[in-house]
Amino acid sequence: MGFEVVTEKRVSRWYFGGLSSCAAACCTHPLDLIKVHLQTQQEVKMRMTGMALRVVRSDGVLALYSGLSASMCRQLTYSMTRFAIYETVRDMVADGNHGPMPFYQKVLLASFGGLIGGFIGTPADMVNVRMQNDVKLPPELRRSYAHALDGVIRVWREEGIRKLFSGASMASSRGALVSVGQLSCYDQAKQLVLGTGILTDNIATHFIASFIAGGCATVLCQPMDVVKTRLMNSKGEYRGVMHCLTDTATLGPQAFYKGLVPAGIRLIPHTVLTFIFLEQLRLYFGIRVITST
């Protein structure tokens, strides 16, 4: 006579990824701002600490949070979209297969989700870059957007709707790469950690898996991130993506990895915090799924 085994698990709701990314962005925004400042230097004049001190001395501590509203808007478009696509499809496939997806399928799914999310989040991303970079411009050249929505509306009115999607191809490509590094690598790393039997589904496991994912994402997306930032912050000096690529290349191969350390210092904590927040939301507020075997 067989016994029926009933198991319960919690599944994330589609919007948990966007909320988690917003919470993480609130913590790491100053690091993101400094990274943008370093990437938009024509020549390497300052390092991370020097740039942070210059921003604080010239505009005050609150300047480190310039563009926070645009950062929130970006997470609610870009991150919410990619997490929703990835986690919804992954859970559907896993239920159908009665097991986790193979890693190559996770990579393909994360790429697709990141591609779509990157495109949808381009307007907010561009405004975010501009608002963060505004504080280092002379007063007469500052755009002085009041908030993210004001920035989007002004770009639409003053520069046209096409400008809102300036750098969309780079943002989408970066979104695909960073999603592969974060989403698929996190899932795979978590699966491997749990497979050892040493750790359970707890914060220690989430920390280890997300730290690995953050490192992978940083290395994968840094070249694209540099070009995207330059393109979005341009005042018409670039004719397109290829022109921006070739202009950046004239500064040497190291130009594509300018700000790699601050990018890692920002992206790895952001990844860790995002997944820790996400897992806590899943465990306490996720959808209950009961299965029997």
Which three-class secondary structure string do you get for 147-168? CHHHHHHHHHHHHCHHHHCCCH
Choice among 9-13, 72-76, 167-171, 236-240 with the minimum mean pLDDT: 236-240
Structural element, H or E, at residue 292: strand 287-292
pLDDT band at 37; cut points 50, 70, 90: confident
Q: Which residue has the higher pLDDT, 126 or 206?
A: 206
Q: Cα–Cα distance between 195 and 100 in angstroms, integer?
A: 12
Distance of CA 290 to CAs 6, 270, 285, Å? 7, 32, 15
Within 13 Å of residue 232, how many CA atoms lie on the same side as its CB?
30
pLDDT of residue 207: 97
Quote the tokens at residue 170.
């780079």
Q: Which of 88-97, 108-117, 134-143, 231-240 has the highest mean pLDDT?
A: 108-117
pLDDT of residue 44: 57
Amino acid sitting at position 211:
F
- Taking the model in full, what pTM does it have? 0.82
**Angle at CA of residue 119, ends 117 and 120, nearest 5°:** 65
Q: Is the pLDDT of residue 1 over 50?
A: no
**CATH number assigned to the domain with residue range 6-292, chosen from the 4 options 1.50.40.10, 1.10.150.120, 1.10.3720.10, 3.40.50.920:** 1.50.40.10
Q: What is the mean pLDDT of residues 57-79?
A: 87
DSSP 100: P
**Angle at CA of residue 221, ends 228 and 257, nearest 5°:** 80
Q: What is the mean pLDDT of residues 159-186?
A: 90
Q: Is the pLDDT of residue 236 over 60?
A: yes
Q: In the chain, where are the structural domains located? A: 6-292
Q: Which residue has the higher pLDDT, 252 or 106?
A: 106
pLDDT of residue 141: 82
